[in-house]
Chain A
Amino acid sequence: MTIAEERTHAYGYTDLAALMGLMTGDEKHGPAATSTLDVLWVLYDRVLRVGPDRMDDPGRDRFLLSKGHGPMAYYAVLAAKGFLPVEWLPGFGSYDSPLGHHPDRVLVPGAEIGSGSLGHGLPIAVGTALGLRAQGLDEPRVWTLIGDAELDEGSNHEAIAFAGPAGLEGLHTVVVDNSSASYARPGGIAARFDAAGWSALTVDGRDHDALHAAFTAPHPGRPHVVVARVEPKNA
């Protein structure tokens, strides 16, 4: 067993709050600060075929965090899974820390993209899926996480409208919906993807088994979106 595997086994879901606390100095986190936490955990714990020792493996799954704002949950999960040392967490946001308030792929082990400016992850994920397909790499799946308000950015709609008709089966998107978009219509998110030919499921973003089932649902010939609904940001 490698050191990385030992680490992987050392931390569980219940440790994540404490890991986040190392970054914020706060023991407890409200739902708004952790809207992505359960989605990220289920992906890294049960879905993504990745690991600290696989980051140079062309056959690994790719997870692209597009919603780079509020990355504490992401860093906590990466630390729990052994991608980065837990000792890095307290330095969060400081000059010498690799962990900024928006992640930088050049600095953060395990981060496939840097993010912060909204609307970049899904187009890059489209290209990643295209690039893998062009090299005959049919196994690895590409995932990107975006926020419901991030969907305001038009670049996402360029990607959604292309990926459906292009039949990009390797592409997966999870939209964490905490009702933060100013001009949203309930039920509109899945319908937008569905209209573009995607496979689309909407689930409770706190229910790990429901998330897992949605993440692993078959979607032959089509890209797949999971809308993970969590508590409204301003509730």
Chain B
Amino acid sequence: MDTMRDRFAPVVTRLLDEDPRVAVVLAEIGADGFAEARRRHPDRVVNVGIREQLLVGAAAGMALTGLRPVVHTFASFLVERPFEQVKLDFGHQGAGAVLVSAGASFDWPAGGYTHMAPGDVALLDTLDGWTVHVPGHPDEAETLLRQAVAAGDDKVYVRLSAQSNTRGLPVDGERLRTVREGRTGTVVAVGPVLDAVLDATQDLDVTVLYATTVRPFDAAGLRRATGTSGTDVVLVEPYLAGTSTAAANDALADVPHRVLGLGVGRAELRRYGRVDEHVAAHGLDARSLRARIGGFVGAGRQAPVGA
């Protein structure tokens, strides 16, 4: 199967052909994929070299002239390294752009911690007005990329990952999608963790909601679901654990509820290896999730049937 990143350049190249507002700004990473697009649109495909402050600042300048920049590099160098540019050159200036990252939390484990960005969504969450898409499949990534570019002058972050679910689902760029219904708890699976969450919960009587757009958080969708599945809520996120815990708490502020935030741990593992080894190390494989979710839902009230 192709990856989300494999889709990125072809999809955005088509958008460059279709819409004269679209521009692509790169800092070497991913430039090969846009070689042909750059020949066709030499002024709208810009590679600034390995200069991430300029990457973001220049994109903001392009946006101020009316273009719709799509800005791309690894998540660590797109959000974390030039964070003040993201905060000021878009937010404070009132400019918009689509930031598309690769690498996610640990797509390249052998590359080590310098190329891991589990904190990207939490960091963006300190800012106002960002839409954050976390697709879980290349088809979803394609849909959400198109939607992000078409979103006027909004500030949109699209987090691409090498991790993927087996099948894509229809996504609307806004709401939680109910994948399974149950009565003793509500599990929100974000993007590429869905397959593992479904495996982990197949013998649990829980509702599974699928999120591919986490900001703004679909508070109404979560509230609605908890009406039947109860207010024991587990969030499983493919980035820093607890990133959306506050959003879930806010959604349920006026009802008694419990929230468990699962995701990538804060501690640096200092391990290389493979993606599946890191998934397991952070307790995000199906077996670990089964134990952690099963131990939480219903524990405040009664044991689930058969436990």
The residues of A with any CB-CB pair to B shorter than 8 Å are 58, 104-106, 112-114, 117, 119-120, 122-135, 137, 154-155, 158-159, 161-162
Contacts and interface: CB of A to CB of B under 8 A. Distances in A.
Contacts of A127: 25, 57-65, 69
Interface residues of B, number: 31
B129 interface: no
20 contacts: A114-B92, A120-B57, A120-B88, A120-B89, A123-B57, A123-B89, A127-B61, A127-B69, A128-B65, A130-B23, A130-B43, A131-B61, A131-B63, A131-B64, A133-B43, A134-B67, A135-B20, A155-B54, A155-B85, A159-B54
A68 B94 CA distance: 17
B54 A126 contact: yes
Interface string B45-87: 0101101011011111111111101000000000000001100
B93 interface: yes
A159 B57 contact: yes
Given A129-B61, A155-B85, A124 B51 contact: no
B194 to A, nearest CB: 37
In the complex, the 10 A-B pairs of residues with the closest C-beta atoms, listed nearest first: A127-B61, A123-B57, A131-B65, A127-B58, A131-B62, A158-B51, A134-B43, A158-B54, A128-B61, A155-B53
Nearest to B45: A134
Contacts of B67: 131, 134-135
B44 interface: yes
A127 to B, nearest CB: 2
Given A158-B51, A161-B51, A124 B66 contact: no
A123 B94 contact: no
Interface of B: 20, 23, 25, 43-44, 46, 48-49, 51, 53-54, 56-67, 69, 84-85, 88-89, 92-94
Nearest to B53: A155
Contacts of A137: 65
A130 B59 CA distance: 9
Contacts of B25: 127
B62 A154 contact: no
Given A124-B93, A131-B64, 9 more contacts: A117-B84, A119-B53, A123-B89, A127-B57, A129-B61, A130-B46, A131-B23, A134-B62, A135-B67
A132 B89 CA distance: 18
Contacts of B64: 112-113, 124, 127-128, 131
Contact of A120 (B20, B23, B85): B85
A128 B57 CA distance: 10
Contacts of A128: 61-62, 64-65
A130 B61 contact: yes
Contact of A124 (B20, B46, B89, B94): B89
A205 B139 CA distance: 58
Contacts of B20: 135
A104 B93 CA distance: 8
A129 B54 CA distance: 13
Contacts of B51: 158-159, 161-162
A29 B191 CA distance: 59
Contacts of B92: 104, 114
Nearest to A131: B65
A158 B85 CA distance: 13
A162 B54 contact: yes
A112 B60 CA distance: 12
Contact of A126 (B44, B57, B69): B57
Given A114-B93, A124-B89, A158-B51, A132 B65 contact: yes
